[in-house]
Chains A and B, each alone.
Chain A
Amino acid sequence: DQQVKQNSPSLSVQEGRISILNCDYTNSMFDYFLWYKKYPAEGPTFLISISSIKDKNEDGRFTVFLNKSAKHLSLHIVPSQPGDSAVYFCAANSNYQLIWGAGTKLIIKP
Chain B
Amino acid sequence: GAGVSQTPSNKVTEKGKYVELRCDPISGHTALYWYRQSLGQGPEFLIYFQGTGAADDSGLPNDRFFAVRPEGSVSTLKIQRTERGDSAVYLCASSSSLAGGPHEQFFGPGTRLTVL
Residues of chain A having any CB pair with chain B under 8 Å: 4, 6, 31-32, 34, 36, 41-46, 49, 51, 89, 91, 93, 95-103
Contact = CB atoms under 8 A, between A and B. Distances in A.
Interface in B81-116: 91, 93, 101-102, 104-110
Interface of B: 4, 31, 33, 35, 40-45, 48, 55-56, 58-59, 91, 93, 101-102, 104-110
A101 B105 contact: no
B48 A96 contact: yes
Given A43-B109, A43-B110, A96-B48, A102 B40 contact: yes
Contacts of A98: 33, 35, 43, 45, 102, 105
A29 to B, nearest CB: 13
Given A43-B91, A89-B42, A102-B42, A96 B31 contact: yes
5 contacts: A32-B101, A45-B107, A98-B33, A100-B41, A101-B42
Given A43-B91, A43-B110, A95-B56, A100 B43 contact: yes
Which 7 pairs show the lowest CB-CB distances between chains A and B?
A100-B42, A43-B107, A93-B102, A97-B45, A32-B102, A46-B104, A44-B107
Contacts of A100: 41-44
A42 B91 CA distance: 10
Given A49-B102, A96-B55, 7 more contacts: A42-B109, A43-B110, A44-B91, A99-B45, A100-B42, A102-B41, A103-B41
Contact of A43 (B31, B42, B48, B108): B108
A30 B40 CA distance: 24
B85 to A, nearest CB: 18
